[in-house]
């Protein structure tokens, strides 16, 4: 079917080579913008470009059609070199209706290409979006390269004879737009057509309609010569190997499976669906062939309770949620801490508090992760910086949890979870095994089992699987004797157990990598970050260096305990900037722990940092 697409290029229209390109698809939440963006991304990944994506969609399942709150968008940057973000400003915006134009035009760079579905710009839709006049007919779009396309009519014409009728006819217009973009930016067409055939193959008329619309969009570009130039971004010179395009939730799920295989432990995931963490549950449920057990609980408390039971029974136990769900799980997490059982708690952060902004990124759960439990209950806290890093961070969380017999909190966020990038598939044989030892024999001097006798190196207690002869013991939330595990109300024992549990977590600092600094000790400023701000920080530092300034960056993967060399690193710089998608939570920790007067850069708009925002603050502090 791919051969049916016209491949002749306009005879007098040159192809312009670009180093990078930022494209944004925007439309109503029912217009299929996420699908179109993902297909454009996958075609670019197969072509060999480096890329980064930024999906953006409403919290409502079906927001009112044609309204500003109902706009959904998908942004992708592709490049012929290694990139770090999805880009600050689109070079090309596809606006499927007036609301999409109204919401996104402010981001399109001056001189950029604007492709609009002119059929949607009727009086009713213009009023919904707040336009007093038609922007396609006045001077408000002056300064942009505007391509008006009657996508509704052309899609209807294209799908005639496929068997699709009624309202379903226009459901293929996103594929029409995608076909036009494939022509304009020289994207390979075969991957998209192959995907359509596989995705909709069981419904022949739907597959035929989508392919026809995609071809019509491509041929519209060829036959009408919609613009004087077409554009191409050459493949990137990436490290040799096999790549796949992966988002953070998928990479995290795969990392948990790898941790299960490397440790020899069966994987259990107990969870209640919540945006944006649900896809971890969905992905893990597909891999029963690896012995993965998934449990969709009736609520958050049941999800963490089941994970605690799985940990007690000897599984690699995981529970996941977002901020509101972690709040509900907090008592269960405290119980797992008190029982000293290995468990991974995944928090895919989103805008808060309460329901907040369920589909927007934020880093506002750091202090809650560090301190959000009752009693003295410190836990290891790790953070994921990029979608592909989620794989290795899941393995690291499993290593710490099982080695030190403690719950571990692993922080992701909506940007990491749903953003994607090319991922060089790792050599699994090069990943070290996770050594796990169940207790098999009584450890007491008189042949009894002492469930809280500690490993002298890690302070971890033994992991005794229920049913092991001679290892019967009591667990529960009431304080235990420091050796026997019997209930104890002795003040000195509670002091000792509290201290030991704290020492155990603090001791992990000796078992994590030191923080790495990029940029050197003679830099004028150090920019410190954690989590999903990584790309924006590193890119801002790189741009500032091009202007002749020396900028160092460091990014934290371990937030509790902090890397052992962090204090020395911080004290070697006069100026320290900490950008965060919160009101300064890491900033508070750094000031409290090291008495260093760092400067914060906060953003809680439900949007990621633009490179320019961080760069502007760096220059302000330097000058």
- Does the pLDDT of residue 71 top 70, yes or no? yes
Q: Does domain 244-430 have CATH number 3.40.50.970?
A: yes
Q: Is the pLDDT of residue 9 over 60?
A: no
Decide if pLDDT at 468 tops 70.
yes
Ramachandran class of 467: left when φ > 0, alpha when ψ lies in -120 to 50, beta otherwise: left
- Whether pLDDT at 4 is above 50: no
Nearest Cα residue to 554 out of 345, 408, 571, 416: 571
With 0-12 / 13-18 / 19 or more C-beta atoms within 10 angstroms meaning exposed / middle / buried, residue 541 is buried
> What was the pLDDT predicted at 229?
80
pLDDT of residue 14: 74
Name the residue ranges covered by the structural domains of the chain.
2-233, 244-430, 437-511, 517-622
Rounded to whole angstroms, the Cα distance separating 518 from 544 reads 14
Q: Where are the alpha helices (DSSP H) in 317-378?
A: 323-339, 366-371
- The first and second tokens of residue 193, run together, are 């057509």
- Classified as helix, coil or strand, 150 is coil
Packing angle between helix 534-546 and helix 611-622, nearest 10 degrees? 50
Interval 367-388: pLDDT, tens: 999 999 999 999 999 999 999 9
Stretch 94-116: mean pLDDT = 97
Contact 362/606 with Cβ under 8 angstroms?
yes
Distance (Å, whole) CA 577 – CA 614:
9
Residue of 261, 255, 269 whose CA lies nearest to 382: 255
d(CA 509, CA 349): 25
The confidence score (pLDDT) of residue 62 equals: 74
Average pLDDT score, the chain: 94
Determine the average pLDDT of the residues in 547-557: 97
pLDDT of residue 6: 39
Query: In what helix (H) or strand (E) does residue 60 lie, and over which residues does it extend?
Result: none
Contact partners, residue 360, CB within 8 Å, separation at least 6: 56, 350, 351, 414, 606, 607
CATH number for the domain formed by residue range(s) 517-622: 3.40.50.920
Cis peptide before 103 (omega within 30 of 0): no
Q: Looking at residue 15, what is its pLDDT?
A: 87
Q: Give the integer Cα–Cα distance in Å for 158 and 216.
A: 6
CATH 1.10.3720.10 fits 2-233, yes or no: no
Task: Say whether 517-622 and 244-430 share the same fold.
Answer: yes
pLDDT of 156 above 60: yes
Mean pLDDT over 290-306 rounds to: 98
Rg (C-alpha) for the chain, rounded Å, is: 27
pLDDT for 439: 96
Closest to 532 measured CA to CA, from 357, 324, 393, 353: 393
- Predicted confidence at residue 63, as pLDDT, reads 78
pLDDT per position as a tens digit, 215-249:
999 999 999 877 778 999 999 998 999 999 999 99
Question: Which alpha helices (DSSP H) does 378-490 contain, by range?
Answer: 389-404, 414-418
* CA 622 vs CA 524, 610, 615: distances in Å: 7, 19, 11
The answer for 434, left when phi > 0, alpha when psi is -120 to 50, beta otherwise, is beta
Whole-number Cα distances in Å, 411 to 248, 308, 509: 11, 19, 18
* Cβ-based neighbour number of residue 599 at 10 Å: 15
* Digit-coded pLDDT (tens) for 126-144: 999 999 999 999 989 999 9
Q: How much is the pLDDT for 65?
A: 86
């Amino acid at each position: 079917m791919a051969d049916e697409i016209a491949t002749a290029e306009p005879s007098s229209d040159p192809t312009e080579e670009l180093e990078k390109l930022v494209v944004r698809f925007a439309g109503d939440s029912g217009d299929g913008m996420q699908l179109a963006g993902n297909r454009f991304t996958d075609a670019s990944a197969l072509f060999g470009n480096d890329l980064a994506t930024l999906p953006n969609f409403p919290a409502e399942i079906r927001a009112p059609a044609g309204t500003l709150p109902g706009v959904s968008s998908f942004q992708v940057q592709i490049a012929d070199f290694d990139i770090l973000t999805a880009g600050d400003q689109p070079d090309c915006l596809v606006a499927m209706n007036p609301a999409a134009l109204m919401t996104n035009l402010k981001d399109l760079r001056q001189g950029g290409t604007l492709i609009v579905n002119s059929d949607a710009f009727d009086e009713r839709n213009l009023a919904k979006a707040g336009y007093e006049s038609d922007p396609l007919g006045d001077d408000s779009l002056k300064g942009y390269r505007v391509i008006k396309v009657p996508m509704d009519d052309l899609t209807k014409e294209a799908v005639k004879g496929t068997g699709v009728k009624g309202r379903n006819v226009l459901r293929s217009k996103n594929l029409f737009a995608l076909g036009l973009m494939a022509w304009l930016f020289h994207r390979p067409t075969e991957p998209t057509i192959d995907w359509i055939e596989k995705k909709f193959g069981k419904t022949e008329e739907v597959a035929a309609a989508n392919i026809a619309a995609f071809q019509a969009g491509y041929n519209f570009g060829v036959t009408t010569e919609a613009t004087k130039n077409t554009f191409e971004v050459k493949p990137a010179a990436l490290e040799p190997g096999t790549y796949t395009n992966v988002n953070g939730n998928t990479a995290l799920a795969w990392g948990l499976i790898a941790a299960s295989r490397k440790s020899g432990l069966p994987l259990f995931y107990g969870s209640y669906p919540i945006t944006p963490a649900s896809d971890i549950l969905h992905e893990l449920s597909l891999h029963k062939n690896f012995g993965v057990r998934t449990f969709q609980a009736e609520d958050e408390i049941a999800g963490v309770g089941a994970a605690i039971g799985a940990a007690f029974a000897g599984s690699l136990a995981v529970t996941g949620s977002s901020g509101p769900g972690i709040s509900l799980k907090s008592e269960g997490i405290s119980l797992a801490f008190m029982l000293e059982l290995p468990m991974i708690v995944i928090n895919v952060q989103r805008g808060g508090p309460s329901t907040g902004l369920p589909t927007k990124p934020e880093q506002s759960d750091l202090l809650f992760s560090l301190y959000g439990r009752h009693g003295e209950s410190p836990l290891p806290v790790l953070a994921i910086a990029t979608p592909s890093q989620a794989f290795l961070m899941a393995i690291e969380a499993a290593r710490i949890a099982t080695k030190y017999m403690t719950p571990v909190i692993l922080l992701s966020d909506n940007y990491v979870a749903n953003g994607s990038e090319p991922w060089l598939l790792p050599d699994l044989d090069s990943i070290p095994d996770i050594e796990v030892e169940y207790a098999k024999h009584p450890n007491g001097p008189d042949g009894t089992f002492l469930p809280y006798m500690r490993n002298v190196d890690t302070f971890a207690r033994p992991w005794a699987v229920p049913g092991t002869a001679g290892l019967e013991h009591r667990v529960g939330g009431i304080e235990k004797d420091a050796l026997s595990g019997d209930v104890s109300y002795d003040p000195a024992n509670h002091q000792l157990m509290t201290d030991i549990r704290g020492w155990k977590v603090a001791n992990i600092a000796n078992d994590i990598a030191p923080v790495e600094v990029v940029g050197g000790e003679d830099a004028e400023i150090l920019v410190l970050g954690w989590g999903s701000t990584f790309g924006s920080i590193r890119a801002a530092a790189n741009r500032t260096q091009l202007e002749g300034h020396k900028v160092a960056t460091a990014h934290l993967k371990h937030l509790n305990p902090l890397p052992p060399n962090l204090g020395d690193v911080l004290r070697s710089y006069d100026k320290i900037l900490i950008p965060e998608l919160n009101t300064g939570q890491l900033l508070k920790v750094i000031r409290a722990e090291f008495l260093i007067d760092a400067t914060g850069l906060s953003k809680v708009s439900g949007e990621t940092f633009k490179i320019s925002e961080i760069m502007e603050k760096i220059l302000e502090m330097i000058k």
